[in-house]
Structure 1
Amino acid sequence: MRRNKVFAAGAAALALGLSLTACGTTEDKKGSGGSGGDAACDLKLAFFGPETGDAAGLGKPIIQGAQLAIDQYNEEHSDCEVEFVKRDSQGSPDAAPALATDVAGDDSIIGVVGPAFSGESAAAGPIFAEVGVPTVSPSATNPALSENGWDTFHRALGNDATQGPAAARYIKDTLKASTVYVIDDASEYGAGLAGIVEEDLGDAVVGTDTIQQKQTDFSATVTKVTDAKPDAVFFGGYYAEATILIGQLRNGGWDGTFVVADGVKDPAFLDAGKAAEGTIITCPCIPDTDPAVAEFAKSYEAAFGEAPGTYAAEAYDAASIFLDGIGDGIDNREDMLKFVNDYDEKGITKQLKFDDKGEPADVHVYAYTVKDGAIVPEGEIK
């Protein structure tokens, strides 16, 4: 393992800035891009995703997860620190090309943690690929992203071709739902995921509908669902719309099981109150019941004063890959891209290794449920 992922247990030590063994000994270093294996200097890592706007709740833990990895690296390299810069897309595909062009033009940005969402990944991907900026997304799950031939694209989690079937299995095998209504938010992520779930559920689907992001009146959709009387509703989309949608469905008299995916796994969804109770959330994000993630959660909470949110640990892993390369002396994008493509090390969330399309070799999908006003892990969906 290039960076020792073992966290100290003492809260006092954590508060002072836990240090990880960042790069091993001098003898361990390969020096694949620098002189003699010494850490490269004057470099930046970029976050690309929502820092503000409606989706900021999903961006915050990604930013903080990456920040923690960088802060710990810098503790070990105080004379040669890595700078963390943020490119705030607000989760919008429309904003992505200009931001990607900005990143591409700054040669000191040697890697990108992100893009966070699928739509912005599709818009920014060609620009990153053209100039060779390696990216590792901790959260973009649309399967088509790895089919574009971008050598620069990687993701640190399973895509919706694994999450969608897992959600469908849970609906059929665990919920025993015989009828399901499928709704999406027309986004690249939401529509893609909902389509996979619909296909896998087959004849169990009694209706489909599409809403729009930033929509607040779902009365037409509520009428369609209550008329169909499904045992379950699957929604492909993000927490902003899901929070309102479930409230209106409950007010409309529907009492079945609401099933959503990782785009809804945010504390803001709990603002729906009683209406959110019993909601099932699927996510390719590992719960903090895992020992390694639990130790990560302690240091995260010490640093930021709150528990890690969705994809914080995956963002830590994504940043750590780049930091391993920088620690090995890599100081240019070409060598960093080769380093990432060849990477095969144990991370917090999984064995971090990519296939030739940038997909992770180690994929798991987990179920969570909203219980007593909290999002509680149920376990892996086998």
Structure 2
Amino acid sequence: MRRNKVVGVGAVALTLGLALSACGTTEDGDGGGDAGGGDAACDVSLAFFGPETGPAAGLGAPIIDGAQLAIDQYNEDAECEVGYEKFDSQGNPDEAPNLAPEVASDEAIIGVVGPAFSGESAAAGPIFADAGVPTITPSATNPTLAENGWDTFHRALGNDATQGPAAAKYIQETIGSEATFVIDDASEYGAGLAGIVEDSLGDVVVGTDTIQAGDTDFSATVTKAVDSKADTIFFGGYYAEATILIGQLRDGGFDGQFVVADGVKDPAYLEAGDDAEGTIITCPCIPDTDPAVAEFAEAFEAEFGSAPGTYAAEAYDAANIFLDGIAEGIDNREDMLEFVNEYDEAGVTKQLAFDETGEPTDVHVYSYTVEGGEIVPEGEIE
């Protein structure tokens, strides 16, 4: 039976809401899953696969905690607690092939929240597919990941084939750009997204360039961008490079609009200070101010002492899909994969269901702006 994952409303009801999430209820009010039916699976675990340390750890932390909250809620009254294993890839596609076999060899792990990034997803995906390990990434957005024939792959958010055109639409219709320069960081994620934005913008693009992740001197790219007379620059990449890049662009004389995507939506980007002000960020991640996630955000802050970061809610949804299966007694990868493939339930972020390639059937893209030293949601890009 599907668990009731509704989080308690308000401070007074918060504790009650967490308990209800853990024990589950059925539509007729009887206990579901382990608490009522006594048929929940035992001796099983979920795993996180992504950056826990390293330069991209800021994007991994909310995913870790989002899944942790779901598991903690489930375990609060469970007769058999679900384990939670973390596999720290540092977001590095070179590390992923060495780490994925550790997940595959632990048969107690029947679901993976992740991999977090596109590059490591491409590297680890074949290994998970061969081992039959169901995965639900809350954050990897490269469209080609769903084109590899991995029946174990699922994505809890829209891919860059939807985010890229949405970003281009914002650049053209909201900003009104007449000349956009496109930069990428050569990563699977950044280059892929930048290419989609470039194609979507068409003749508006006045130049492109590529930087390398880990570099700190972007003067050659800054010169090209400034010389292009662009009024807008789009960057496909992560926050570590974006923080440096925007400072060097401003120092180099660029005073136009800077547009980035979900890989930059991290508080660490705000370390750029005044240079970051006005930056537009696109993301297929729902704002934590949205009424649909307000109760989740309240529970998250109660447990971790801070507001949920990027992809925390998507990770919470991903973990809860697996936990729903465990509550119904699923204790092996084969049955869990079938359960995930057929899943169609309301989550915190959207209606959670997948097509035959593992893509979500419900997709939204949102815009944010850096204002007053904070990342502030603007709304959905329609």
* TM-score using structure 2 length: 0.95
The question of 1:73 aligning with 2:74 is answered yes
Equivalent residue for 1:46?
47
The question of 1:235 aligning with 2:242 is answered no
Deviations 1:8-33 (A, max 9, x none): 234366479922345434988999xx
Go from structure 1 to structure 2 and tell me whether the alpha carbon gap of 1:17 and 1:294 turns closer, same or farther (over 3 Å shift).
closer
Q: Distance in 1 between matches of 2:335 and 2:31?
A: 15
Equivalent residue for 1:59?
60
Q: Distance in 2 between matches of 1:268 and 1:215?
A: 17
Deviations 1:310-336 (A, max 9, x none): 000000000000000000000000000
Q: Distance in 1 between matches of 2:248 and 2:358?
A: 40
1:358, distance to aligned residue in structure 2 (A):
0.1
Equivalent residue for 1:149?
149
Deviations 1:285-324 (A, max 9, x none): 0012221211100000010000000000000000000000
Code of the residue aligned with 1:61 in structure 2: it is P
SS in 1 for 2:177: coil
Code of the residue aligned with 2:254 in structure 1: it is W
Equivalent residue for 1:181?
181
Deviations 1:261-300 (A, max 9, x none): 0000000000000000000000000012221211100000
1:1-382 alignment, distance < 5 Å: 2-11=2-11, 14=14, 18-21=18-21, 22-25=23-26, 38-77=39-78, 79-382=79-382
SS in 2 for 1:73: helix
Deviations 1:152-178 (A, max 9, x none): 000000000000000000000000000
Contact 1:17 1:303 in 2 (8 A): no
Greater CA deviation, 8-17 or 128-137? 8-17
Greater CA deviation, 13-22 or 213-222? 13-22
Deviations 1:232-255 (A, max 9, x none): 000000000000000110011100
SS in 2 for 1:19: helix
Contact 2:115 2:135 in 1 (8 A): yes
Q: Distance in 2 between matches of 1:167 and 1:354?
A: 24
- Number of aligned residue pairs: 377
Contact 2:3 2:26 in 1 (8 A): no
Q: Distance in 1 between matches of 2:14 and 2:38?
A: 28
Go from structure 1 to structure 2 and tell me whether the alpha carbon gap of 1:71 and 1:204 turns closer, same or farther (over 3 Å shift).
same
> 5+ residue gaps in structure 1?
none
Q: Distance in 2 between matches of 1:256 and 1:211?
A: 20
Q: Distance in 1 between matches of 2:363 and 2:123?
A: 25
Q: Distance in 2 between matches of 1:261 and 1:236?
A: 7
> 5+ residue gaps in structure 2?
none
Structure with bigger RCO (C-alpha 8 Å, 6+ apart):
1
Code of the residue aligned with 1:267 in structure 2: it is P
Contact 1:282 1:366 in 2 (8 A): yes
Deviations 1:189-244 (A, max 9, x none): 00000000000111111100000001101111111111112010000000000000
SS in 1 for 2:94: coil
SS in 1 for 2:76: helix
* TM-score using structure 1 length: 0.95
Contact 1:14 1:303 in 2 (8 A): no
Go from structure 1 to structure 2 and tell me whether the alpha carbon gap of 1:65 and 1:212 turns closer, same or farther (over 3 Å shift).
same
Code of the residue aligned with 2:220 in structure 1: it is A
1:3, distance to aligned residue in structure 2 (A):
2.7
Contact 2:181 2:207 in 1 (8 A): yes
Q: Provide the alpha-carbon RMSD of the alignment.
A: 1.8
Contact 1:50 1:116 in 2 (8 A): yes
Greater CA deviation, 117-126 or 36-45? 36-45
1:368, distance to aligned residue in structure 2 (A):
0.3
Q: Percent identity?
A: 76
